[in-house]
Amino acid sequence: MKTVHRDGVTIVENQNQCVIPDLTVKDLLSAIPAHCFKRSGFRSSLYVVWDFALLAAIYKTTTYVEPLLTPEHISLPYPWLYSFAYFALWSLYGFAAGLVCTGLWVVAHECGHQAFSESKLVNNAVGWVLHSALGVPYHSWRISHAKHHASTGHMTQDQVFIPRTRTQLGLPPLNPDQEELQGASVTDEVMRELREALGDSPLLAMWHSVTYLLFGFPMYLIRNASGQKRYPAGTNHFNPYAVIYAPHQVGQIIISDIGIFALFAVLGYWGYHRGFGEVFRLYLVPYLWVNHWLVLITFLQHTDPLLPHYRASEFTFPRGALATFDRNVMGDLGPIMGWIGAGATHGIAETHVAHHVASKIPHYHAWEATYALRKRLDQSGIKLQGGAVGWMEIYRVMKECRFVEDEGDVLFFKNAKGLAATRPVYPDTTASDSGIEVDKTLEDCDESFGEHSEYCSTVARFGVCRLTPATTMPDDQPLFPAQSLSDILAFQFSSWYPTFSHISPKSTVIRPLSPAFCEYLDAESVFVPSGSEDVPAESTIEDEDDKSESGEDEPSQQYSFPELDAQIRQAVKEYGAVFPKLNFSSPKDAAWILPSSSPLKCTSPADVYLLLKSSDFVSHDLSTDNVFADCIEPPGDSDHDSDNVPKYELELVLRKWYPMDRGREMRCFVRDGVLIGISQRDTNHYDFLNEPQTRRNIASSVQSYWESNVRAKWTATASYTFDILLTRDLSRFHILDFNPYAPRTDSLLFTYEELRDRLPQSKDTPNQVPVIRVIDSPSHPAAARNAPAHQHNMIPFEALSLSSGRDVEEFQAMWQEEVKKGMQGSGSDDE
């Protein structure tokens, strides 16, 4: 960056401005051609064969040349040159083999994303073998890597390459009088303090670079080096009970560990019989090169003075996906070496942004996806091409990226002088000093909350008032209360509905569902059981490419549920139309499958089945591991005695369908018996919620109605959330659902940290009006995007891969037509 010095102050000239994207997931995915989502196991396997063929050629060439490096075959002026030539030959082997093995690592990584083939079994089998051979615990890393993709660039949720803050490094606090928050200017005095605390030695930076490249990845796996700072000491990828993993994933971690133990056994056997020298030359040196390339590539993809990091209030999935760079491996060594580097590593660095937008795109389609995506991003002024992947670049980046500030929601790295190369700007706005617009929204707080305006301590962008008491709860207050198995079961529909049926929509509960129906729901294909519609059939929507590769179709499982069909038809007859859900989850993520004029409206068993089968949300209820994840043992019953814990049985709930006004749907948060927050559920802006008096009335009426109709009757847990539909006069509400006060429940427009801060200091503290969060402007980020917290509006990636670029309504009709054709085709085959 270019700087000038004036009157004891260093100023960044023409500080770069990074446009903070307001794009949606649909904006990004719709830019990518539909065929790029196609996965071919056969084609992917050819790349594995090619990589192993290259390794064999490299080994054969090396062992062919080695005997020639003797005085009998070549004349050198000094004897030591023969040793040097031998060393150079095997060093070249290590470099070349390591580069090719990095390509194999990339293929294994694609298996973890299920991008290798359409078969999950094949993906995991190939990925386990390849990653284990390269010293990577397959499932362990796959799980943490998936979290990285979901939260790339998130300061507290991302898994690796997390910037260290000023406080974490023990630096002097920010002094606004002597240094600008966004790093545009710093006084000489502060600059000296920072350089003394951080050190700015070129030799030190070089040493850090070398050790990081060689041992960074193993240290990340073993001790969470450069990983998420909030994880406890000792966190690693080999402990099945590490905080990274959920209880139901323990078996997968053990399988991953077995792969690593098998590798050690093979290496030990090899070394015992052939000697350590051979193992070192043929395996360990290429292994170190793989680590080198892996860290070099991934570090530079996610770290640069031009790349933003986000705190929770500004993070969205599209912003995280675009907080990365495309770079060219070895591009700094010229176009030929750049071509070799890109080919050997299967374009993992060159197409990285597209990979983060849609990780199931295989590498051979990622190039086309990248070109298409760049055209779309160019329209928004977003450039994501970084410098070449090389040693000089990582040295530069490590010098320029030393820390980020403790303040602000959009963060850019500062160097050891406290200067930043980049500051955030928003589309059609000027640069923001802190990501917070205080004056206007403080006025809004005063207007909206009147006598309660003393609780306005922070105001987020876009007019969302973040209200916290003047004195907040200590940070050691648990973010979530402990949940037992019985606590969780209290939230299944059949547990609470009898108590609250008088203020809840009419519903029919079918319980228990048969094991055959549970098996049908868990099957991967989308098909409708026989007899559930006028045209009987059992069919699947399949990929035509897969048929041609396999040579034959796999027989589909036959299902028929006549008793359940009759019960569903009876409910449809009684209610006119129904909306289905299981014990806890509803298929709102599959709303696109039915007519948009009547979303989630089912008038036949086939509608119910199709909605459930098209949903990812309901899969949560199919596994007790998911249902009881993060639960503690029932009090006084360490053995989980089934007599003390109600049996979990899958149930189908058919609720009377109403054309609900989504603007009146709210989620309410109760912690320790106190109603602390109310959040709008829908992600659209509604004009009637703009009125401050309306919001005050909603908060007051919800609290009053809750105290008289819910508070005393809900006795299962002290903390919970419940979803409501306000009446038209906003004076009462209907209960739609109860959910645990737990990470599995979306906090919507809040964060759970904010809700914790709303807790009263003591039981003697007078009840305060619950804070209400609504989307009060069309420019509100949740109204302008489908954030991860609001993806019930999204179409699954698997479905989008069949869309051929169609809009949602056209694709919806296409999907239903495909199901109909499959059903009719199956019927004709039966004949």
Confidence of residue 548 (pLDDT cuts 50, 70, 90): very low
The pLDDT of residue 667: 96
d(CA 579, CA 657): 5
Residue 709 has pLDDT above 60, yes or no: yes
CA angle centred on 590, ends 158 and 493, rounded to 5°: 90
H/E stretch holding 337? helix 335-344
Confidence of residue 477 (pLDDT cuts 50, 70, 90): low
Residue 457 has pLDDT above 50, yes or no: no
Average pLDDT over residues 626-634: 71
Can you name the residues that pair with 3 across neighbouring β-strands?
12
Lowest mean pLDDT among 341-350, 468-477, 596-605: 468-477
**Closest CA relative to residue 651, chosen from 527, 505, 489, 492:** 492
Pairing of strands 720-726, 674-680: unpaired
Confidence of residue 523 (pLDDT cuts 50, 70, 90): confident
d(CA 205, CA 178): 27
Q: Give the residue ranges of DSSP H helices in 725-806.
A: 752-757, 797-800
The pLDDT of residue 527: 57
Pairing of strands 422-425, 16-19: parallel
Q: Are 109 and 363 in contact (CB under 8 A)?
A: no
3-state SS, one letter per residue, for 459-513? ECHHHCEEECCCCCCCCCCCCCCCCEHHHHHCCCHHHHHHHHHHHCCCEEEECCC
The pLDDT of residue 56: 97
Q: How far is CA 588 from CA 206, 379, 581, 615, in A?
A: 52, 32, 9, 7
Q: Residues 6 or more apart from 657 whose CB is under 8 A from it?
A: 575, 576, 577, 578, 579, 598, 600, 601, 602
Confidence of residue 596 (pLDDT cuts 50, 70, 90): low
d(CA 668, CA 707): 13
Most confident of 232-246, 521-535, 594-608, 774-788: 232-246
Average pLDDT over residues 249-259: 95
Can you name the residues that pair with 9 across neighbouring β-strands?
6, 187
Instruction: For 80, list phi and psi in degrees, rounded to 5.
Output: -70, -15
d(CA 627, CA 613): 18
Strands (E) located in 314-364: none
Residue 752 has pLDDT above 50, yes or no: yes
Q: What is the CA radius of gyration of the chain?
A: 29
Q: Are 300 and 397 in contact (CB under 8 A)?
A: yes
Pairing of strands 3-6, 733-740: unpaired
d(CA 328, CA 343): 10
pLDDT tens-place string over residues 97-145? 999 999 999 999 999 999 999 999 999 999 999 999 999 999 999 999 9
Q: Are 628 and 547 in contact (CB under 8 A)?
A: no
What percentage of the chain reaches a pLDDT higher than 90? Answer: 50
Phi-psi region of 346 (alpha: psi -120 to 50; beta: other; left: phi over 0): left
The pLDDT of residue 817: 61
Q: Are 485 and 636 in contact (CB under 8 A)?
A: no
For 693-701, the CB contacts below 8 A with 24+ separation are 694/730, 695/448, 695/772, 695/774, 696/448, 696/449, 696/450, 696/769, 697/730, 698/666, 698/726, 698/730, 698/772, 699/769, 699/770, 699/771, 699/772, 700/769, 701/726, 701/730, 701/731, 701/732, 701/733
Q: Give the residue ranges of DSSP H helices in 380-409.
A: 391-400
pLDDT tens-place string over residues 263-300? 999 999 999 999 999 999 999 999 999 999 999 999 99
Instruction: For 667, list phi and psi in degrees, rounded to 5.
Output: -115, 130
Q: How far is CA 665 from CA 682, 689, 702, 730, in A?
A: 7, 12, 12, 11
Average pLDDT over residues 612-619: 83
Lowest mean pLDDT among 26-35, 419-428, 438-447, 649-658: 438-447
Q: Are 43 and 364 in contact (CB under 8 A)?
A: yes
Residue 560 has pLDDT above 60, yes or no: yes
d(CA 388, CA 332): 5
d(CA 400, CA 183): 12
The pLDDT of residue 312: 84
Q: Residues 6 or more apart from 516 whose CB is under 8 A from it?
A: 559, 561
The pLDDT of residue 820: 54
The pLDDT of residue 429: 44
If DSSP codes are grouped into helix, strand and coil, which group holds residue 746? coil
Pairing of strands 465-467, 456-459: antiparallel
The pLDDT of residue 22: 86
Residue, of 206 and 593, whose pLDDT is higher: 206
Confidence of residue 397 (pLDDT cuts 50, 70, 90): very high
If DSSP codes are grouped into helix, strand and coil, which group holds residue 643? coil
Quote the tokens at residue 758: 């709303």
d(CA 66, CA 85): 9
Quote the tokens at residue 730: 């906003």
If DSSP codes are grouped into helix, strand and coil, which group holds residue 726? strand
**Closest CA relative to residue 437, chosen from 454, 418, 455, 461:** 461
Average pLDDT over residues 611-624: 84
Most confident of 657-666, 763-772, 792-801: 657-666
Burial of 362 (0-12, 13-18, 19+ CB in 10 A): buried
pLDDT tens-place string over residues 22-35? 888 888 988 999 99
Average pLDDT over residues 351-376: 95
CB burial string 409-432: b at 16+ within 10 A, e below: bbbbbbbbbbbbbbbbbbeeeeeb
Average pLDDT over residues 672-695: 89
Confidence of residue 469 (pLDDT cuts 50, 70, 90): very low
H/E stretch holding 671? strand 665-671
Lowest mean pLDDT among 50-64, 154-168, 567-581, 762-776: 762-776
